[in-house]
Every structure is written in structure tokens, then in C-alpha cells.
Amino acid sequence: MGDFIRSLPSCFGSDEDIANYGPNNFEIPGFRVYGLHPDTHLVQTYEHEREQIKQLYKDRNEVDVALEWLTR
């Protein structure tokens, strides 16, 4: 099965790097699509949601934000 997955064409939503990883600047995993005809709508939806999450956590303590959302 691994060889089959590796044989499929794939693309990432974005390939950004973060030089200063830390509590206020953490990476949210990218989205990878496999297949001959990838659905770019899925990538766009994920990227939009990813940006919303980044804005939610921006310049805030990630533990406080997570606890706030978990205790709603």
C-alpha cells in the first residue's frame, strides 16, 4: 500500500517555513492532496480555515486559547 500511495501524484496547499517557531508562532500542518485530479476546492477550504486558526492564536498564549475553546 505504501508504494501505491507514493506512486500517486500529490501536491501541498502551501510550503511555508517558520524560522522562529515558538508559542506565538507555531506551524499548523499543511494539507496534501493525492490523485490524478486533485480537488483544489478542498485545499482552498483548508487554507482558509488554517488562516482563521492562525489569527485566533496570533499573539496569544496557545494554552489559554485552547482552554477557552475547550470549556465553551
Map grid coordinates 492562525 to a residue. 54
Predicted pLDDT of residue 64: 92
Helix H or strand E encompassing 12: strand 10-12
Q: Closest Cα to residue 16, out of 30, 36, 34? A: 30
Q: What is the pLDDT along the chain (72 residues), one digit of tens a residue?
A: 788 877 877 666 555 555 666 655 666 777 777 777 767 788 888 888 888 988 888 888 888 998 998 998
